[in-house]
Structure 1
Amino acid sequence: MSRRFYDDQDFQTGQVVELGTAASHHIGKVLRMAEGDDIEVFNGRGGEWQARIESVSKKAVSVALLGFNADNRTPPLSVTVALPMIKGDRMDYAIQKATEMGAAHIVVLDTERCEVRLKGERAEKKLAQWQQIAISACEQCGLNIPPTVTGVEHLKNWLTRDLPGHKLIAHPGEQPFDPAVLDRGQALALLTGPEGGFSDEELAAARGAGFVSFALGERVLRAETAPVALLAALWAWLG
């Protein structure tokens, strides 16, 4: 499989295009690829293009677009993963792995027991960083449509939004989830909590918004592990 690179521009088979700054830097400066090397490029709007490097300069890399593949490798169900703010690199891990596991949307939430709080410019910078982490994860895993990463939003505000039809909230001590209720044609919202868990008030608000509580086994998962484990279980349930 050729190395894959994201670049936010319109591509068309048969063109020779100059890639943007980030992709050009990665190809030319970091990986030191050369003219004639085969790569794949995608723009996040569906599909990918087989390409060949035409030139590498100090400022930019140009590629010839040789063919198009429309396969996006998306999972059978559109899943919105809503997870709390997590301290340090563990948040980056959660975003990266949720992307690799096929989340269609990722929402970062502020809950009562979050380990960290972000507002204003700091939150905007972090969201941009997490979106780039999601894009990089797509470059690695083969997905062509990166998930949108949004937030930071208070849980109670998010619960009032127009959410998918299926709504699940992971909470230790609840009954195991019955996968028979899943419908491949209906999107799903998956809500996971912080290290200290949800407060009673938050649980009541979520249930009032139509979320069904369930547990995955008898163990309490870390905040960054739960979304990954739950998505893996979800795809196994769907077969």
Structure 2
Amino acid sequence: MVAERRPRIYLPRRLSAGEHYTLTGDQHRHLSRVLRLKAGAELTLFDGMGGEYAATIEEVRRAASRVRTGDYRDVDNESPLHVRLAQGVGRGERTDYAIQKAVELSVTSIVPFLTRRGVVRLDAQRAQRRLAHWRGIIVHACQQCGRNTIPELCTIVALEEWLREYECGGLDLILDPNSSTSIGDLEYGGGLVTILVGPEGGLDTDEREAACGVGFRGVSLGPRTLRTETAAVARVTAVQLHWGDLK
């Protein structure tokens, strides 16, 4: 018989065993109205710094819930392969999907970028709203998939600006449908793997040359044309299969 999975809640504060914490806002509404949990129900809390805590709901009020942490559990579901996804910002929910699935596949950081061909244009206010929205997606993905470390979300940046200050890591890959190189042809010697995926419309010639000029290597995903969100998930999956912990 499979044990019932406890709800997992992220609290953006340093947690300790044997302490009381108050859940408000979305966290409280999810527990009390969606899951309909009552006093005495068990759950798991994590603070995004690694590890997790058993916890018990002690009180459920209209606007808040009070919980008490139990023992700390050194649970580490992170991949041994550190992957950074540089994702071109797309329209609608495409970037949302790419970020959600990349987190489930254990990327350690995400860099959203804008390109010359990209259809999305963001002023400072809209950019901040997008970042807040994506942080919520990252947290929910970690709660769902069992990760106890929250990936870093970088600020939205123009691709050419990001590349000007870029320092190559262990292996830097850019999707290139014209490349004859596949993931199986590459040798990985350790370090950070960075995957650069353009938005719908792709990168222009100057952007692609700039990426290759700082050390990115073109790799192909096969003969079919993939949407930007599909390409991101496929490439992260491929590197995790080859060098990470996907079995």
Shift of 1:103: 1.0
Bigger mean CA deviation after superposition, 22-31 or 110-119:
22-31
Bigger mean CA deviation after superposition, 64-73 or 42-51:
64-73
Of residues 214, 224, 232 in structure 2, which corresponds to 1:209? 214
Aligned twin of 1:167: 172
Aligned twin of 2:57: 53
What's the CA shift string for 1:103-161, capped at 9, x where partnerless?
A: 11111110122121112010011101101101001000111112122232111111123
Bigger mean CA deviation after superposition, 172-181 or 217-226:
172-181
AA aligned to 1:83 is Q
Unaligned runs of 5+ in 1: none
Bigger mean CA deviation after superposition, 202-211 or 69-78:
69-78
| Alignment root-mean-square deviation, CA | 1.5
Q: Is the 8 A contact 1:18 1:60 kept in 2?
A: yes
Of residues 222, 229, 234 in structure 2, which corresponds to 1:224? 229
1:11-90 matched pairs, under 5 angstroms: 11-90=15-94
Of residues 118, 137, 143 in structure 2, which corresponds to 1:139? 143
Q: Is the 8 A contact 2:179 2:220 kept in 1?
A: yes
For the residue of structure 2 that corresponds to 1:213, the secondary structure is: strand
Please give the alpha-carbon distance, in whole angstroms, between the structure 1 residues aligned to 2:76 and 2:118.
Answer: 34
For the residue of structure 2 that corresponds to 1:181, the secondary structure is: coil
> Percent identity over the alignment?
36
AA aligned to 1:60 is A
AA aligned to 1:138 is C
Aligned twin of 1:108: 112
Q: Is the 8 A contact 2:200 2:228 kept in 1?
A: yes
For the residue of structure 2 that corresponds to 1:224, the secondary structure is: helix
Aligned twin of 2:129: 125
AA aligned to 1:28 is S
Unaligned runs of 5+ in 2: none
Q: Is the 8 A contact 2:83 2:107 kept in 1?
A: yes
Q: Is the 8 A contact 1:98 1:227 kept in 2?
A: yes
Please give the alpha-carbon distance, in whole angstroms, between the structure 1 residues aligned to 2:72 and 2:61.
Answer: 25
Please give the alpha-carbon distance, in whole angstroms, between the structure 1 residues aligned to 2:71 and 2:175.
Answer: 43
AA aligned to 1:39 is L
How many residues are aligned here? 238
For the residue of structure 2 that corresponds to 1:117, the secondary structure is: coil
Q: Is the 8 A contact 1:179 1:237 kept in 2?
A: no
AA aligned to 1:212 is R
What's the CA shift string for 1:37-64, capped at 9, x where partnerless?
A: 1110111111111111111111211112
